[in-house]
Amino acid sequence: MGSEFHQLHFLLVPLMSQSHIIPLTDFAKLLVQHGLIVSIITTPLNTIRHKAAIDHLVQAGLKIQMIPLQFPSQDVGLPQGCENMDALTSMELAKDFFVASEMLHVPLEKLIGELEPKPNCIISTNALPWTQRVAQKFNIPRYVFETISCFTLLCSGIMSRANVLDDMVSDSDPILVPDIPHKIEFTKAQLPESTRKTSSDDIQGIIDQIKQAQKLARGTLANTYDELEPFYVEGLRKERENVWCIGPVSLCNKEFSEKSNRGSKASIDEHFCIKWLDSMKPNSVIYACFGSLCHISFPQLKEIGLGLEECKFPFIWIIRGHNYSAEIEKWLSEERFQERVEGRGLIIPGWAPQVLILSHPSVGGFLTHCGWNSTLEGVSAGVPMITWPMFSEQFYNENFIINVLEIGVRIGVKVRMKSAEEEAMVKRDSVKKAIEKVMGEGEEAKRRRERARKLGKKAVEAMEEGGSSYKNITLLIQDVVQQDILGRELSSS
């Protein structure tokens, strides 16, 4: 492909959160391989964190760059250097973070006015509705990059229109999602704050802006593949114009260096990690990781550790930076936990190369918080999952994994997490039992593994030349070309 598109310039704008920056950067890599010019808007600290992900493309002569804009964190009362949502000490500060994000529109407009060649489109993640106004100012199309599944988008839309929340008397009353082929139930206590009648005016205001900007956008890019959720993709296409499934974008990372340089700098030597995995039997290791935004209390972390120890399977346990407190460090040391699990347990404090680990043949199960990126990465690796949703749309993803794909086992969480100060909700015995169910040798476990393996194979095929997602990326590029021609004709008439 390449040459016919060589002057097209795509401008990508993610919300400054790992769950948005990482997949949009992956998508940038896919676009640049089609011969496009791609610029990714970031901030100074995020540029440092993510620059390594595109360095090899720059060195190969491909036209991709990260452009940092100063993030006005202090202007809204956030600490200096708070440029990514994983730096927020509390999710209650998210509202201020969104305000700071919107303040980027002035420097972004100034930048677009100076860029050469001029951008032909803006692709921004769903949480940045103000980028629609920027696109309109420069008469270029905007495409929304959705960081959640078509299943979630369709189900939440159906529930909203059917006013099913009005039928929920108590927090624990189950309600069935109507008009879909799978039996999907939620309780009020599981749904995101933004979908509840009690959500604050600030949150509701942001949701309304996102919906309005979505209607004005030229199209929707979904990080999924047609074959993964066919009914829900088609359902969304009936509701929105121009829906293209372009994922799983994480599969653009094929080489060792690409998988290890994705996201932040890993807290462990990647070669040591792979060597450790190489020493384990195929499909024998549990990988436990709970995303970049989950604040987990010390009592809960302790139960996770003890559950992993008691299950007797080898494991890699990621304890992200803000959860790796002095308290947990003291417990690990005083209880000699690492010594007790030596040889079969690897504890990584901080960031880990998740795609690299999941794609290793020794990994046989993924204990996950059910964020959409992690869910897709598990699917792409063909690994069955133990589901532990905590907040946001993660209960939707759990339902998708368990009831639609049938490749997971619930750990048993019934309500979304409200704060990290809450006492442990899941005891070690529940952790142990769920792991044993996924890793077991029964017929059900074998069928689950086989389904996961097939979905992983289909994910790879979708991204290869001729696959559904590859074709959809081509259709997107062609649409931008057509919009560009149309724009020139209108301006010259």
Percent above pLDDT 70 for the chain: 94
DSSP lists the bridge partners of residue 38 as 10, 64
Which DSSP category does 118 fall into?
Answer: P
Residue 423: is its pLDDT beyond 80?
no
What is the pLDDT averaged over residues 304-333? 92
Cα–Cα distances in Å, from 27 out to 13, 40, 316, 400?
12, 10, 28, 23
pLDDT score for 196: 58
Q: What is d(CA 97, CA 21) in angstroms, rounded to the nearest whole number?
A: 15
Which DSSP category does 82 fall into?
Answer: -
Is the separation of the CB atoms in 404 and 379 below 8 Å? Answer: no
Residue 424: is its pLDDT beyond 80?
no
What is the pLDDT averaged over residues 147-158? 96
Q: What is the mean pLDDT of the chain?
A: 92
Is the separation of the CB atoms in 273 and 378 below 8 Å? Answer: no
- The size of the chain, in residues, is 493
Handedness of CA 368, 371, 374, 380 (dihedral sign): positive
Using DSSP, state whether 212 is helix, strand or coil.
helix
Cα–Cα distances in Å, from 472 out to 230, 286, 467?
14, 34, 9
State the pLDDT confidence band at 7, using cuts at 50, 70 and 90: confident
In this predicted model, which residue has the larger pLDDT, 482 or 423? Answer: 482
- The per-residue DSSP string of 28-41 comes to HHHHHTTT-EEEEE
Tokens of 302: 């302790």
In this predicted model, which residue has the larger pLDDT, 264 or 111? Answer: 111
Cα–Cα distances in Å, from 138 out to 8, 18, 112, 486?
15, 28, 8, 14
Residue 178: is its pLDDT beyond 80?
yes
What is the pLDDT averaged over residues 416-432? 75
Give the range among 58-62, 263-267, 318-322, 332-336 with minimum mean pLDDT. Answer: 263-267
Give the range among 278-282, 362-366, 391-395 with minimum mean pLDDT. Answer: 391-395
pLDDT score for 2: 47
pLDDT score for 248: 98
282 burial via Cβ count (<10 Å: 0-12, 13-18, 19+) = exposed
pLDDT score for 483: 95
Q: Report the 10 Å Cβ neighbour count for 397.
A: 26
Q: What is d(CA 13, CA 16) in angstroms, rounded to the nearest whole number?
A: 9
pLDDT score for 161: 85
Residue 235: is its pLDDT beyond 90?
yes
pLDDT score for 3: 47
**Which domains are delineated in the chain?**
3-252+465-492 (3.40.50.2000), 262-459 (3.40.50.2000)
What is the pLDDT averaged over residues 49-73? 95
In this predicted model, which residue has the larger pLDDT, 169 or 22? Answer: 22
Residue 15: is its pLDDT beyond 60?
yes
Residue 152: is its pLDDT beyond 60?
yes
Phi, psi values for residue 152, rounded to 5°: -65, -45
What is the pLDDT averaged over residues 368-390? 97
What is the pLDDT averaged over residues 177-196? 86
Is the separation of the CB atoms in 56 and 29 below 8 Å? Answer: no
- State the alpha helices, DSSP H only, in 201-353: 201-216, 230-239, 256-260, 270-278, 298-310, 326-334, 337-340
In this predicted model, which residue has the larger pLDDT, 492 or 31? Answer: 31
pLDDT digits (tens, 9 = 90+) for 74-116: 999 999 999 999 898 887 888 899 999 999 999 999 999 999 9
Percent above pLDDT 90 for the chain: 77
Residue 421: is its pLDDT beyond 70?
no
Tokens of 151: 């299943």
Residue 204: is its pLDDT beyond 80?
no
Q: Hunting for tokens 């019934």 — which residue is that?
A: 414
Handedness of CA 387, 391, 397, 402 (dihedral sign): positive
End-to-end CA gap in the chain: 31
Q: What is d(CA 451, CA 460) in angstroms, rounded to the nearest whole number?
A: 15
What is the pLDDT averaged over residues 126-148? 97
What is the pLDDT averaged over residues 417-440? 82
pLDDT digits (tens, 9 = 90+) for 387-415: 999 988 999 999 999 999 999 999 999 88
What is the pLDDT averaged over residues 191-197? 68
DSSP β-ladder status, 219-222 and 121-125? unpaired
